[in-house]
Homo-oligomer: A and B are copies of this chain.
Amino acid sequence: MSTAIRSIKSLAPLLDRVLVQRIKAETKTASGIFLPESSVKELNEGKVLAVGPGALDKKGQRLPMGVRIGDRVLIPQFGGSPVKVGEEEFHLFRDSEILAKINE
């Protein structure tokens, strides 16, 4: 999805949405040889850039979010809404779609 947003920092996710920046796979080997683009696999990892205030329960109360800004997370293979700011692509996921945190 194209936008006219100047900085991704302006984006404030609503409800239980989480803004994630996918971590790029290494494009060269450990010994420094560049990999041809076709052999670079997309990684299912990302960094949390922003989180929404949480979904509403049936009484209008916010449900707590599972992740925080700065978390390194495992994201699902499918789903999520792509957001394009300039040349970079980001993703919005629902909090419950984030599979796991990566504590490294």
User: Residues of A with Cβ closer than 8 Å to B?
Assistant: 1-7, 10-15, 17, 19, 23, 25-26, 41-45, 52, 56-61, 63-64, 66-67, 74, 76-77, 81, 83, 92, 96, 98-104
Contacts and interface: CB of A to CB of B under 8 A. Distances in A.
B5 A45 contact: yes
Contacts of A58: 57-58
Task: Tell me the number of copies of this protein.
Answer: 7
11 contacts: A1-B44, A2-B25, A2-B41, A11-B100, A12-B103, A14-B67, A14-B101, A44-B83, A57-B58, A57-B60, A60-B64
Contact of A81 (B15, B42, B57, B99): B99
A2 B100 contact: no
